[in-house]
Structure 1
């Protein structure tokens, strides 16, 4: 099989699942790589061209021969029927409102979706994820918003794509005006990739942080302990219906200290949303949704937070994915376990459409 790295269409998306450094490893394995031109990708198209990749116009994957595997990152916003093997984060397996439409496009086209979220090993663990950087950025902007809210009443500035972590730290420090109240934060899902990323950020700024994971939540919510904190980062992976972590009634308690929620897991229109206080994603331009709950509680639900640190997050993700991608593209008879698991999830969901 051959590989086709497509351009992304989602606004503010500068990440890539495959860096030039790891593209070289794929070429060294004897695999042909085609790369679409991109004005947004954090790595310049010329870097891929110098390696010997064929460069083609953006969004031309629809006309690619069927022996190409189409590799991307975020959802494809298109009515095109899917004939190819596709690898990307589709967000269609948890009851999302657009799921049936996308799956129907695969069913009619005969293509296969290998969702990056469902590339799992024999123990069922994901083998590649942006989780660390999602948690890191989610905690960063939650803390930034807390400081900004205390320091002034102006509109919170839009998110941006930062060339380095240090640039992001400078933004937070600029809004930190020694507020009288130092924040306390709680992370649910603290032991996973997202949770560890959030913890790293809070440690950097010496934020007092409560760390919860499955042992603390297995009894079922809602949890009053959440409203004893100023910032709540939801980094939990939810795979089956549960009682919500937080309800409107609890969030509106007059004893609540909760001001900021960073919903890093970010499934607002899913049946599995453990924070049923809202039902929409927020944007880079307006990252926080203002509510009428106690403390004018605000919620951030941006679904591509790692793209605020596109270089670091792409390097990390690509390094995780590449070895499995090579195994998949060079397999002769049997799919590698990780891709077989992703295919099985896809076929099960496809049968339900």
Structure 2
């Protein structure tokens, strides 16, 4: 069997500071027999020198496009637009299997080059639970930003910080607030609850039992809401435009941690584009006021903590890359998406 060659790419998104593999875990992979090439990146929380010190090769940013064909390209967020034909096996969050905007274009790039997308969203155990996820820190950041904004203490543009500094700001934002966390028992929900607790808030916690038959007046009766639910099957949305226009609505701050914009499974179809670091808050209604936070790389605001936890979960899985199990399920989901794409273009399969 050919030795595993992992190629850690530079993230093209300027606000992406995380890494899926931290230097200490890179050392463990090298000791297990893998080869690691790490692209230089001015924004990654760990400099290239930290990887070089543990035995990684260092390459120029963006050079993955000319990497050996057997290299496995590892990243987190979206690929740049070029090349149009992707020949490698890629590991990252592709967001391409549920009909999201741009999904077809990305899959066609893999078809054109013969490459494969191993989407980290579908790296799951036998029960469908993600094996490597940023959910806890996404929930933590989402609730923290929502609370700070609700108190008038959120400043833009957002900047990466440390948990210690963020918690200090949260402790300064204490006070009564009627908050709701939906999906409270999951990773993201747990993070949201902990962050609100740092600020002294005791949120209402809803999960499957409470959302099966949603009490929408009760939802609208909260001042602050954090949604952490990402569904894989059609269910009624938690909020609609009609709900936002309810004159009795007390809801003033809404944070959508999942940011499933464009998906037919979106549980909050009340906005059509995410917010970002430069403008983290968007006003959805003026009377009464309702503000939205919907940032799709929240954990990058705590890049050290988020990267360390994610890498600890992902690294033990990499030596068994594509050896059945969870990687096999990833590959099967890609193959299924390709078949669906072909079927949508006619029996000939022409793309």
Q: TM-score range by the shorter chain?
A: over 0.9
Is the 8 Å Cα contact of residues 282 and 302 (structure 1) preserved in structure 2?
yes
The yes-or-no answer on 1:271 pairing with 2:272 is: no
* Deviation for aligned residue 1:201: 0.5
Match in the other structure for 1:251: 244
Distance verdict in 2 for CA 1:200–1:47, change over 3 Å: same
Q: Deviations over 1:219-260 (max 9, x none)?
A: 3x4722111111110001211121110122222222211011
Contact 2:171/2:198 (CA < 8 Å) preserved in 1?
Answer: no
Per-residue deviation, residues 99-138 of structure 1 (Å, max 9, x unmatched) = 0000000011100110011001112111010000000000
Query: Where in structure 1 do 4 or more consecutive aligned residues deviate above 4 Å?
Result: none
Kept in 2, the 8 Å contact 1:251–1:293? The answer is no
Q: Do the aligned partners of residues 249 and 294 (structure 1) sit closer, same or farther apart at CA in structure 2, a change above 3 Å counting?
A: farther
Aligned partner of 1:90 in structure 2 is 94
CA shift, 1:173, in A, is 4.9
Go from structure 1 to structure 2 and tell me whether the alpha carbon gap of 1:125 and 1:173 turns closer, same or farther (over 3 Å shift): closer
- In the aligned structure 2, how far is the partner of 1:33 from the partner of 1:156? 39
Report if aligned partners of 1:222, 1:243 keep a CA contact under 8 Å in 2: no
Q: Deviations over 1:174-217 (max 9, x none)?
A: 6x3x76xx211111111100000000101111112011111111
**Residue 211 of structure 1: SS of its match in structure 2?**
strand
Aligned to 2:347: none
Of 112-121 and 269-278, deviating more is 269-278
C-alpha distance in 1, partners of 2:327/2:165? 37
SS in 1 for 2:285: coil
Q: Over aligned residues, Cα RMSD in angstroms?
A: 1.5
Q: Partner residue of 1:166? A: 164
Matches within 5 A, 1:318-337: 318-328=311-321, 335-337=323-325
1:1-353 equivalences under 5 Å are 1-80=4-83, 81-148=85-152, 156-162=155-161, 164-173=162-171, 176=173, 182-219=176-213, 221=214, 223-292=216-285, 294-328=287-321, 335-353=323-341
Are the aligned partners of 2:25 and 2:311 in contact in 1 as well (CA < 8 Å)?
yes
User: Deviation string for 1:149-171 (max 9, x for gaps)?
Assistant: 7xxxxx84221111x11111234
SS in 2 for 1:187: strand
Deviation at 1:294, TM superposition (A): 4.0
Q: C-alpha distance in 2, partners of 1:294/1:224?
A: 18
Q: Does the residue aligned with 1:297 lie in a helix, a strand or coil?
A: strand
Q: TM-score, normalised by structure 2?
A: 0.93
Alignment partners' CA distance in 2, 1:237 and 1:214 = 12
Distance in 2 (CA, whole Å) between partners of 1:323 and 1:168 is 30
Following the alignment from structure 2 to structure 1, what is the Cα–Cα distance between the partners of residues 255 and 184? 13
Tell whether the 8 Å contact from 2:171 to 2:200 is kept in structure 1 after alignment.
no
Report the CA distance between 1:293 and its aligned residue.
Answer: 5.1
The match for 1:152 is none
The aligned length equals 337
Per the normalisation by structure 1, the TM-score is 0.92
